[in-house]
Amino acid sequence: MSREERKVIFASSLGTVFEWYDFYLYGSLAAIIAKQFFAGVNDTTAYIFALMAFAAGFAVRPFGALVFGRLGDMIGRKYTFLITILIMGLSTAIVGLLPAYGTIGIAAPTILIGLRLLQGLALGGEYGGAATYVAEHAPHGKRGLYTSFIQTTATLGLFLSLLVIWLCRNYLGKEVFEAWGWRIPFLLSILLLAVSIYIRMQLSESPAFQKMKAEGKQSRAPLTESFLRWPNLKVVLLSLFGGTAGQAVVWYTGQFYALFFLTKTLGVEPDRADLLIAVSLAIATPFFVLFGALSDRIGRKKIIMTGCLIAACSYFPIFKALTHHANPALEAAVAKAPVVVVADPEQCAFQFDPVGKKAFKQSCDIIKSALAKKGIPYTNEAAPAGSVASVKVGATRIASFEGTALDKDGFKLQAEAFNQSLGAALSSGGYPAKADLQAMNTPMVILLLTLLVIFVTMVYGPIAAWLVELFPTRIRYTSMSLPYHIGNGWFGGFLPTVAFAMVAATGDIYYGLWYPILFALMTFVIGCLFTPETKDRDIYAAD
């Protein structure tokens, strides 16, 4: 590897690490952001809405891919991803300065979502530019290895965000961090932005783009050529459903959903959960390079498809093992005193109210809201139509109440009495308020989390080289960016929100895993049957 090639990889990767750091700060701090910017709604709604704001950044990533991909194919790779990192850095820094809901009301979440949209647009243009730029500098036979360093950046960005959050939380203390200290990681983006821009200004344009420009073969309509001409559109669709969709859900399950599962479901303290995830990321990150280099020898497709299949087949046993080793008291309580909600299904609402104006006062809703706040898994049992709901904790049965006819004070009194009775029953049944760190089998938890990240490295390590090789130089930036960001922005980005909502609706803490499993299996089938192997292709051809 020459000095110039090392410089290209380092500059592209470092800037992308900072950009992912900016993007994932929000996801890592979703629980705090829910309290700061979505006050005034019930806890379950606030958390789901905070996750939806997180997902909003993912929703617009394909549009960023269209805008910046077109620019990248027309004016060059270098200047396009200078623009994207500037937008990302400034948007992140402003989040650190944004007043909370208690100060400026509804304007706070509105501005926050606007900033998330800007971040998503920027990231939509960033990844395709960095991956294309590095691949077009790489010698034939080493594209998998060279682009695998770009693939580490998303994980390293998440690792960096978790590490900074952990340091700030432990230095300031939990109360101070949740009050205002959470802003510090966002404000650090100003420094990271300055470093990133300086480094990227030292780069020259990619050889493939320079060659294409010198030959006068640049595309004048990259969007038309990419998506309105069937031969290329067919490849775009196959790369989405037979590649990036499955890769995305494996990525977000192995890193973000695992973090949510530890904190929201198993009751692990956030700083401990962050540290566990960070250690697993540190252990598994070299596998990105391993699988990237291996794909230069045996092919990209075999590794990606194998990763999707193994992940889909192992998620249920791995997450159940996480429960066993991270919070054994919860597992024991579920076996000893299972919780069952006995209610008329027609009287149970899906408790999601984005504007915070709806009150959930039916007897079934009161029970499920209380269980969701405590993170208690439960099953459902149908009751006669119109009957008042109740909850069974082992052999103990506790009746709920209908709060629809009660005034505010009357509802509050009955709710407090119900919660006291429920809390006592859960305590008697052995349900822990949070995970006991002394009882946690930390080495096994780290091993399980590391396995989840290794699945990520299998599907993600080779994907950049694979996408670059699928498309010609003249429309490469545009064509590869859209399926990547639809897969990761929509299929992957909405995973935490959808999976958490599925769990909240059913009470089954593992039910949300069906989301990544089904999409990973879809990608495995389509990818094996219809997508090509690309490792030996010439990527310098403009057409």
Instruction: Quickly list DSSP for 234-255.
Output: HHHHHHIIIIIHHHHHHHHIII
Model confidence over 163-187: pLDDT tens digits? 898 899 889 988 899 889 999 998 9
Estimate to the nearest angstrom the gap between the alpha carbon of 444 and the chain centroid: 23
82 and 116, same structural domain? yes
Where in the sequence is the domain holding 384, given as residue range(s)?
331-428
Question: What is the predicted pLDDT for the residue at 379?
Answer: 92
Each residue's pLDDT tens digit, 452-511: 999 999 999 999 999 999 988 888 888 888 898 888 878 887 787 788 778 877 889 999
Q: Kindly state whether residue 536 falls inside one of the protein's structural domains.
A: no
Among candidate residues 375, 394, 428, the one where a domain is terminated: 428
CATH number at residue 355: 3.40.30
Residue linked to tokens 């294409």 = 212
Residue 354 has pLDDT above 50, yes or no: no
> In terms of domains, do 234 and 303 share one?
yes
3-class SS at 91?
Answer: helix
On whether both 340 and 396 belong to a single domain, the answer is yes
Least confident range from 78-92, 177-191, 407-421, 444-458: namely: 78-92
How many residues belong to the chain? 543
Q: Are residues 201 and 144 in the same domain?
A: yes
Backbone phi and psi for residue 229, each to the nearest 5 degrees, phi listed first: -120, 120
Read off the amino acid at residue 479. Answer: S
Which is nearest to 389 in space by CA: 341, 339, 424, 350?
A: 341
Place of tokens 């990818």: 527
Burial of 59 (0-12, 13-18, 19+ CB in 10 A): middle
Residue 79 Cα distances to 257, 374, 427, 477, angstroms: 34, 49, 60, 13
DSSP string covering 336-399, please? HS-EEEEE-GGG------TTS-----SHHHHHHHHHHHHT---EEEE--TTPPPEEEETTEEEE
- Nearest-angstrom CA–CA distance, 9 and 45: 42
455 vs 46: which has the higher pLDDT: 455
Would residue 442 count as lying in a domain? yes
Going by DSSP bridges, is the β-strand pair 396-399/390-393 parallel, antiparallel, or unpaired? antiparallel
What is the pairing mode between strands 339-343 and 390-393? Answer: antiparallel
CB 378 within 8 A of CB 504: no
Q: Which residues contact 462 (CB under 8 A, 6 or more apart)?
A: 144, 148, 291, 292, 294, 295, 300, 303, 304
Looking at the fold, whether 106 and 220 belong to one and the same domain comes out as yes
How would you list the strands of the sheet with 390-393, edge to edge?
379-382, 339-343, 390-393, 396-399
pLDDT band at 355 (very low <50, low <70, confident <90, very high): very low
Domain C-terminal end among 396, 428, 460: 428
The mean pLDDT of the chain is 86
What residue has token string 């490469």?
476
The reported pLDDT for the residue numbered 452 is 97
What whole-number distance in Å separates Cα of residue 539 and Cα of residue 473? 7
Question: At 274, which helix (H) or strand (E)?
Answer: helix 270-284
Is residue 266 domain-resident? yes
Statement to judge: residues 24 and 100 lie in one domain: yes
Residue keyed to tokens 């897969």: 487
Query: Which residues lie below 8 Å from residue 349, measured CB to CB, with a gap of 6+?
Result: 360, 362, 364, 365
Q: How far apart are CA 389 and CA 400, in angstroms?
A: 6
State how many domains the chain has.
Answer: 2
Same domain, 365 and 488: no
Condensed to tens digits (0 to 9), the pLDDT of residues 105-135 reads 878 888 888 888 888 888 788 777 788 888 8
